[in-house]
A and B are shown apart, each in its own frame.
Chain A
């Protein structure tokens, strides 16, 4: 039995999420009995995967795959899964992984469970725990096909070191023009900013900021923490911030280690979007704001007084703990 994990890279470097899905794949392999094989595309160095339980690294190096292409990437993973006779395929829940997963599912005639948060139970049937209703509930899902695809929620499992001997093998999939029917014309990436999906820490602002010109405070706090910036729905609706930063049920879900909400009252849709975050901090003048019921730590106070002080104190903390 074999577990195949797709380990994503960016500019030739493995993403942190790749190490997390590898850690998870090792736990899945231990549960069902078997070893983990990783497949990576145009990653320069996969040595680190050995520290997270990967026994074999299938390494694809192909100029045609420099830009992400869902069809072609799904085909590569399909052929890798067939090569190692994978019973479980593990992917992350990045935007690209979510794009290719349903295609992979049809290619392999495999059931796909997305937003998985725990290792499968395999006593009678194969079941996984997933989030549902945008984190307002969990759903235990059984998968009935021979091959299963699991999409692991970001930060749900964490990094688990598990050093093993790893072998490497060049791998090339057979691809044809049909796999490249969609053309990527241009990519516009905010290279200097942490993306919400990859962020360990997210600093988010709401209507309490009063004016978009006050946003500098949010960015300064995010800079100190190496965090991504986000916002509530009204803020993106008013055009203060782009839609891509809107967190919530109809925006982006956040599963960071730390989520700091400033001037956000905490509507049910917003809380659903952030409930997978581990530690939540709220700063709000209104002590009746619903966010205080969802948060771990709170400060009742004026953001314009509290946040600048927090930035200064955090700078000192970082300097002393560097």
Chain B
């Protein structure tokens, strides 16, 4: 089985978010970039398929050279080879188009992407990619098993779960639950050394025009002070929630 794992290069979850150039660009100053957490669960699941079922695992990212440490980390975790599409990601459609070209060239059986990246939270790339290459698609996957040509997945829905089956080729939008957080792989020294020798291919983009553009960013307005209520005066809290906040 040939697996492609799509990796998004995102600010660490603890990052403070700021903007530059008149609030049109994300300020990368002092920000640590990591593998998108939803992709990391998918990558670890792909490693499981590699170890237990003999799959090969390639990783791909769309981004400039600054994304290479992130994708090298995926190699250090155990991916066999990496592909970087040398383009600035502008929107979900453009990224999906670039990934579709890589997916079609590599003829993959299974493509794993995170259900969304934690920067723009678009949640559109895995579905668009699947549609563009004519593959089946299952979103918000919290469990995935493959037997021969058949995949069985569990998907999180609002207020419950659904079990689905589909044939390969398949694209999934994965998330926490695909593997336990405690099973996430941390690169060891041997993995880091081996990653240096693994192939990282840089490919030219297909230069697809984005359909959307982030014109300007802004931060939420500063919040007023918290109103503290005495622990012995619960009636006051209920009054505030009812009459002031109109929340109950």
Q: Which residues of A contact B (CB under 8 A)?
A: 68, 70-71, 94-96, 98-103, 105-107, 110-115, 127, 131-145, 181-190, 193-198, 201, 225, 237, 243-244, 246, 249-251, 257-258, 268-269, 272, 275, 278-279, 281-282, 292-302, 305-306, 309-310, 313-314, 317, 321
Task: A293 to B228: give the CA distance in the assembly, Å.
Answer: 11
Taking a contact as CB atoms under 8 Å apart, the answer to whether B227 and A317 are in contact is: no
Would A183 and B166 be within 8 Å (CB), given that A102-B126, A106-B132, A306-B231 are in contact? yes
Chain B count of residues within 8 A CB distance of the other chain = 78
B13 & A269 in contact (Cβ 8 Å cutoff) = yes
Q: Does B211 contact A (CB under 8 A)?
A: yes
Q: Given A103-B137, A141-B212, A185-B165: A111 and B226 within 8 A (CB)?
A: no
| CA gap between A244 and B83 in the complex, in Å | 33
Q: Is the CB of A244 within 8 A of B156?
A: yes
Q: Are A298 and B229 in contact (CB under 8 A)?
A: yes
Contact in complex: A298, B226 (CB < 8 Å): yes
How far apart sit A314 and B123, CA to CA, in the bound complex (Å)? 38
B91: chain A residues within 8 A (beta carbon): 111
B169 to chain A, nearest CB (A): 11
Q: Within 8 Å of chain A (Cβ to Cβ): is B127?
A: yes
Known A137-B218, A225-B248; judge A184-B139 contact (CB<8 A): no
Q: Is the interface of B mostly helix, strand, loop or mixed?
A: mixed
B159 with A103: CB separation less than 8 A: no
Contact A250 B160 (CB under 8 A): no
Q: Which of A113, A136, A181 lies in contact with B17, CB distance below 8 A? A: A136
Q: Is there an interface contact between B181 and A237, defined as CB atoms closer than 8 Å?
A: yes
Residue with the greatest number of chain B CB neighbours at <10 A, chosen from A101, A275, A278: A101
Q: A112-B211, A135-B220 are in contact. List 13 more A-B contacts (CB 8 A).
A: A95-B140, A96-B157, A102-B123, A103-B137, A105-B127, A142-B215, A183-B166, A185-B164, A272-B13, A275-B220, A297-B229, A298-B227, A313-B235
Q: Answer whether residue B213 sits at the interface, using C-beta atoms and an 8 A cutoff.
A: yes
- Asked if A305 and B238 sit within 8 Å, CB to CB, the answer is no
Q: Determine if B162 and A186 form an interchain contact, defined as CB atoms under 8 angstroms apart.
A: yes
- Interface residues in B109-151 by Cβ distance below 8 A to A read 118-128, 130-132, 136-140, 142
CB proximity of B61 to chain A, nearest CB, Å: 19
**Chain B residues with CB below 8 A from A139, complex form:** 120, 214, 216-217
- Is there a chain A Cβ closer than 8 Å to B242's Cβ? yes
- Chain B nearest Cβ from A13, distance in angstroms: 14
A111 vs B237: C-alpha distance when bound (angstroms): 45
Cβ-based interface call for B65 (8 A): no
